[in-house]
Amino acid sequence: MSHKFLAVLVLALICAISFALSNTVLAKFHTSPLIISIILGAIFANLFTKQTQILKSSGVVAIAGKQILRLGIILFGFNISLGEIASVGTIGVIYAAFMVFATFCFALFAAKALGLSKDSAVLIGSGASICGAAAVMATQNEIKADANKLAIAICTVVLFGTIGMFIYPFIAKFLALTPHQTGFFIGGSLHEVAHVVAASAAFDSTASSTAVIIKMLRVIMLVPFLFLLNFLNLSQNSVGSKLKSIPWFALFFLVAICVRSLPFFPENLVQILKLAASICLCVAMCALGFGIDRSIFKATGKKPFLLAFFIFLWLICSSLVFVKTLC
């Protein structure tokens, strides 16, 4: 059996197990198969070190972590329509943009105060401000951070996103937020799409649908965010280098949204493309998990998690101020 075929087989198997666990044992927790896939990939890599190196040497894991990831992000655009964006109005777009870019700026400022590297700040900040693990992976493709920093950033998304998933409903009820305000609050400040779905499930359809739409608006902000990173990191390069390094897949993500919005686009095809996006992203997360070594947590220390905690508090407080003032 060739190493390439074996690598494909292992990735497919872990992906299948992740979906199975997400839809059965962990269904009531609304746990994303992407998060499960990262964890299973890391467990496999740390239990079967030699076998993991063989799989990596095939080149399949690298393709899964880059090309398949980008394909998954493009296909993810079929989760969103222009009509859904319009339903929350201009204030929803402004709010989503504010939460993404203000949170990212806060992350850079807080990281500098803590003495963390810029790469760590960018990865942790992108995951918290945009769309969790997928944003961290997409960002890593642009800044070329090392695998250890990437793994830590993913862990902060899992940790604080999961904590938020459980405490946000209590915050919303304690502050007596309206369904509209609740949707804005949850969708605008939780990390993963799955976290948003789980937290908003405790409320009525107005709150849950608004939360998902606001979250999708934050996902769209990945496009200008990646272009901003590209510009900042490559501004001294030649025009040819810039064109080569532009995250073109982000533009195709927008194209997918526009195509999804066409009135004659078949709804059953949308569901198939959504599933394809989830599978691609799940495979990419597994590939990421293969790069997570348990020793990195001992070497990293508490600063990345302290940064993620401060960002978490910022997300809650800034979102509530915005929602209470303008919604």
DSSP for 163-188, please give it.
HHHHHHHHHHHHTT--HHHHHHHHHH
Q: What is the pLDDT of residue 299?
A: 64
Mean pLDDT in residue range 43-70? 88
Instruction: Provide the token pair at 32.
Output: 């994303």
Q: What is the pLDDT of residues 91-120, one digit of tens each?
A: 999 999 999 999 999 999 999 999 998 889
Please report, for residues 28, 286, 313, the alpha-carbon distance to residue 117 in angstroms, rounded to integers and kept in the order given: 38, 26, 21
Give residue 239's pLDDT band: very low, low, confident or very high (50, 70, 90).
very low
Enumerate residues 6+ apart whose C-beta is below 8 A from 127.
133, 135, 136, 139, 153, 154, 156, 157, 191
Check pLDDT > 90 for residue 182.
Answer: yes
- Kindly report the pTM of this predicted structure: 0.75
Q: What is the pLDDT of residues 135-160, one digit of tens each?
A: 887 888 777 777 778 888 988 887 89
* DSSP 8-state class, residue 78: G
Helix axes 248-260, 69-76, angle to 10 degrees: 30
The closest alpha carbon to 219, from 124, 95, 100, belongs to 100
CB-count burial class (<10 Å; 0-12, 13-18, 19+) for 253:
buried
- Average pLDDT taken over every residue of the chain: 85
Give residue 246's pLDDT band: very low, low, confident or very high (50, 70, 90).
low
CB-count burial class (<10 Å; 0-12, 13-18, 19+) for 50:
exposed
Mean pLDDT in residue range 229-238? 56
Q: What is the pLDDT of residues 248-304, one digit of tens each?
A: 777 888 888 899 999 888 888 988 998 998 899 889 888 878 877 776 666 677 899
